[in-house]
Amino acid sequence: MSEQGKNIILSVKDLEVKFKVRDRVLTAIRRISMDFEEGKVVAIVGESGSGKSVFTKTFTGMLEVNGEVSGGEIWFEGQDLTKIKKDSEWEKIRGKKIATVFQDPMTSLNPVKTIGDQISEVIIKHQGKSKTEAKKMAIEMMGKVGIKDPDKRYDEYPFMYSGGMRQRIVIAIALACRPRILICDEPTTALDVTIQAQIIRLIKDLSEEYGFTTIYITHDLGVVANVADVVAVMYAGQIIEYGNVDEIFYDSRHPYTWGLLSSLPQLGEKGEDLFAIRGTPPSLFEEVKGDAFAPRSNYAMKIDYEQEPPFFKVTDTHYAKTWLLDPRAPKVEPPAAVRELHARMQALTSKGGIYGER
């Protein structure tokens, strides 16, 4: 998938992550390779349990204690992150180079420390500033993320802030050390819709100002359509389709992507049943043979049960991992909902639509 002449900031090669769960081994990430281009907004989508979060956690060494990277490489700034064993080395990357924003702002902040302390803490730690300098920078950062009267609110506690404002503070903390990559792990799931739009806008504006690469983990395709440059669709621990946002939305090739798009509630027609992908994802405790999505796919062929499909190139930026793209495969049309997606999506994301600019 890597292309020449692009500025690659993070490169993942054949990454495999295994978890030990009650004496059994679960393969959460199955040999993913992917390049992240500097300054781009990458969205990783997929259903719960597809490995989105685990995938990005490997970039900051934040896997749970029972998990480990069992294979592959993650190259960042000339260093293979999978080789890092010591926490002290990770501390030079976490928060400083690669920052993370978590889902729930209500619990992400320490309830008994002041907002200001929690921001300047990172500045002191990573940039070695004095307390007064750090405070100045923290207040500036609070202003940047849209907190009014930041110098007055510096000494307040998280419980005095609303959810949206807390997420702004979390973003301020994440960006306080000007990281090169910001991982947003479902940053808006816990917020109500109006606040969601504001937070997404804020992250987008800041990414343009500071030029960091954003990795979104989400299952909200509306958010993806609005902010992402590149979309990676994950299923059962693998990336199964990868491309620019338009290509994924309007010219997707993988049956799973079709299923995902068809089941967007925002696209449902009144009076009709909402589409649902039948079945459940495969157990990752066992070796997955062939295409992991085959048992649930309406387009499965014999080979899907026998051999794992390779990535087929659709365009220079668009790849999909399905045998349907093999020249020998029969020609299939995506479902009607996906074909009409363009018009519907446009209605949703234009002014007045629920994901439109406000």
Partner 1 sequence: MKKYILRRILKSIVSIFAVVSIIIVMIYTMVPSEKVFDNDAGAKKMKGDQLTTYKLRKLEELGYLDFASRLEMCTATFGDDAKACQDGDEAMNAQAVEAFAAKGYEIKELKSGEQYAVHNYRWYELLWRFYSKLVVVDSKNAIQDPDNPDLEHKYYWGKNPYNGTPALLCSGCTYKYQMYFNGTFPFIHQNKFKLNFGTSFPTNQGVATTQVINDGQGSNKKISQTFETGLEEESALIQTSCQYKYLTDHLDEKRFTDHYATCRSFHESPSMVETSYILGLIALVIAYVMAIPLGISMAQHKDKAIDKIGIAYINLLIAVPSLAFIFFMRSIGTLFNLPDKFPQLGFKDIRSYIMPVLILALLQTPSLMMWLRRYMIDQSNADYVKFARAKGLSQREIFRKHILRNAIIPIVNGIPGSIILCISGALITESAFAVPGMGKMLPDAIKQTNNNMVITLVFIFTALSILSVLIGDLLMTVVDPRISLTEKGGE
Only segment of 40-48, 166-174, 210-218, 343-351 that touches partner 1 (CB under 8 A): 166-174
Phi-psi region of 271 (alpha: psi -120 to 50; beta: other; left: phi over 0): left
95 binds partner 1 (CB under 8 A): yes
Backbone angles phi, psi at 299, to 5 degrees: -115, 15
Q: Which of 100, 213, 238, 262 binds partner 1 (CB under 8 A)?
A: 100
Q: Which of 29, 42, 69, 99 binds partner 1 (CB under 8 A)?
A: 99
313 binds partner 1 (CB under 8 A): no
Q: Which is nearer to partner 1, 170 or 230 (CB)?
A: 170
Q: Give the total residue count for the chain.
A: 358
88 binds partner 1 (CB under 8 A): yes
Distinct helix (H) and strand (E) counts, the chain = 13, 12
At closest approach, how far in Å is the CB of 66 from partner 1?
12
Q: How far apart are CA 326 and CA 131, in angstroms?
A: 61
Only segment of 11-19, 47-55, 111-119, 132-140 that touches partner 1 (CB under 8 A): 111-119
Q: What are the C-alpha distances in Å from 95 to residues 61, 83, 119, 163, 241? A: 12, 19, 11, 22, 29
Q: How far apart are CA 256 and CA 261, in angstroms?
A: 9
Q: How far apart are CA 220 and CA 242, in angstroms?
A: 17
91 binds partner 1 (CB under 8 A): yes
Q: How far apart are CA 59 and CA 99, in angstroms?
A: 10
At closest approach, how far in Å is the CB of 199 from partner 1?
16
Q: Which of 170, 221, 227, 228 binds partner 1 (CB under 8 A)?
A: 170
Q: Which residues bind partner 1 (CB under 8 A)?
A: 60, 62, 87-88, 90-96, 99-100, 102, 104, 107-114, 121-122, 125-126, 157, 159, 170, 173-174, 177
